[in-house]
Amino acid sequence: MVLGVVHLLPLPGSPRAESMDAVIARALRDTRTWVQGGVDGLVLENYGDAPFHPESVPPVTVAAMARVLESLRVEVSIPLGVNVLRNAAQAALSLAAVFDLAFVRVNVHCGATVTDQGLIEGRADATLRLRASLPGHPLILADAGVKHGRPLAPRPLEEEAADLWERGGADAVLLTGTATGAPVSPDDWGRVRASVPDTPLLLASGVTPETIRQTREEAAGWIVGTWAKEGQQTAQAPQRDRVEALVSAARSN
Summarize the confidence of residues 33-58 as an average pLDDT: 97
pLDDT at position 107 is 97
Three-state DSSP at 71 gives: helix
pLDDT at 95 over 70: yes
204, 174 contact by CB (below 8 A): yes
Determine the pLDDT at residue 253.
Answer: 65
Instruction: Please tell me the distance from the alpha carbon of residue 146 to that of residue 54, in angstroms, as a whole number.
Output: 14
pTM for the full predicted model: 0.95
Using the predicted structure, report yes or no on whether residue 62 has a pLDDT greater than 70. yes
Question: What per-residue confidence (pLDDT) applies to 6?
Answer: 98
Q: Point out which residues pair with 2 in neighbouring strands.
A: 222
Whether the per-residue pLDDT at 85 is higher than 90: the answer is yes
- Span 221-241, average pLDDT: 94
Question: Which one-letter DSSP state was computed for residue 238?
Answer: B
Our measurement of the distance from residue 237's CA atom to the centroid of its chain's CA atoms, rounded to an integer in Å, reads 17
Binning pLDDT at 50, 70 and 90, where does residue 252 land? Answer: confident
DSSP β-ladder status, 112-115 and 118-121: antiparallel
DSSP three-state, residue 138: coil
Please check whether residue 57 is in contact with residue 91, taking contact to mean a CB–CB distance below 8 angstroms: yes
Reported as type and span, the H/E element at residue 92 is helix 89-99
Bridge partners for 229 per DSSP: 238
Which residues share a beta bridge with 121? 112
What is the arithmetic mean of pLDDT over 35-59?
97
* Structural domains in the chain plus CATH codes: 2-251 (3.20.20.70)
* H or E stretch covering 237: none
- Provide the residue type at 105 as one letter: R
Q: What is the pLDDT of residue 221?
A: 97
Residues facing 115 on adjacent strands: 118, 149
Euclidean distance between CA atoms 79 and 43, whole angstroms: 9
Instruction: Tell me the mean pLDDT in the region 156-176.
Output: 96
| Residue type, position 69, single letter | L
